Amino acid sequence: MKKLFYTLILSVISMQVLAQTKEKDIIHLWPGAVPGETGPKKPAVPTPDTSKGVTRLTDVTDPLMQVFIPEKGKANGAAVIVCPGGGYQILAINLEGYEIAHWLNEQGFTVFVLQYRVPQKQEGALQDVQRAIRIVRSRAAEWQLQAEKIGVLGFSAGGSLSARASTLYNKRTYTPVDASDSSSARPDFALLIYPAYLDQGPNHSITPELQIDAYTPPTFVFATADDPYGNSALVVTGALRDAKVPVELHMYAKGGHGYGLRPGNRAGLAWTTLAARWLDRNVKEK
């Protein structure tokens, strides 16, 4: 009963956030045609499945970012682009987007919740996150940000996308659109929370697409042993360690997958506590 109560409360909060987001708080990534897309742009479609109080978006044809600004006096000059998960099929936009934005705002971060292309548009999703990073970096002064403190945080498939952004930032995935594209697409730090699809190499080794080297940004990884995708966290941590990239891994025994930061799951409380400390040391204090 308590879990149901908390789920209902969080669902109401998420819907209020969505309703209060004004057009000025939305940044459409592609002012003209979206690379590789032939159909018209249209708003993302919420699916009928709202189980566990999760709002699921699909059919993203007009990729965008929703901006969440911390309260006056709390801002620390750093930004996080949040990539919700959903198996590259949907976006769990409240569970792994809006609710995470509010938590990060409390830590002083300016947050950009990314609606990247789904379903099954992995190449388009990489274009979207690269473009998002470049826009935020090129307009850093507008939000009083430090251009060298722009990171990514992703869950599940969003963790996969964040890892791809962290390792494929030199890959030219689209023709430049405007002056924003002269900015670097390399995130300055990355947080991968129960990431998926990072162990698709031979014998569940690192996914061949990922190009990890010494310039890959510092990374925080969290997962649980009972997560069916838990091997991704182990494999990516090993690859980062081999490349001498600063990496911190935490793996709890239980928690499963897809819990966000909601009450009732100890893993959800654990990763936020540990990630906040990591952000203090690796971002805020630099």
Q: Which portions of the chain are predicted below pLDDT 50?
A: 1-23
Model pLDDT, residue 8: 44
pLDDT in tens, 167-188: 999 999 999 999 999 999 999 9
Our count of domains for the chain comes to 1
Q: pLDDT at position 286, please?
A: 75
Residue 284: predicted pLDDT? 81
Q: What is the CATH number of the domain that holds 44?
A: 3.40.50.1820
Task: Give the pLDDT confidence score for residue 24 in this predicted structure.
Answer: 55
pLDDT at 2: 42
Which residues constitute the domain of residue 192? 2-284
Which residues partner with 28 through β-bridges? 64
pTM recorded for the entire structure: 0.92
- SS3 label, residue 41: coil
CA distances from 206 to 160, 198, 209, 216, 226 (A): 11, 6, 9, 15, 20
pLDDT in tens, 184-200: 999 999 999 999 999 99
Determine the pLDDT at residue 211. 95
CB-count exposure of residue 200 (10 Å: 0-12, 13-18, 19+):
middle
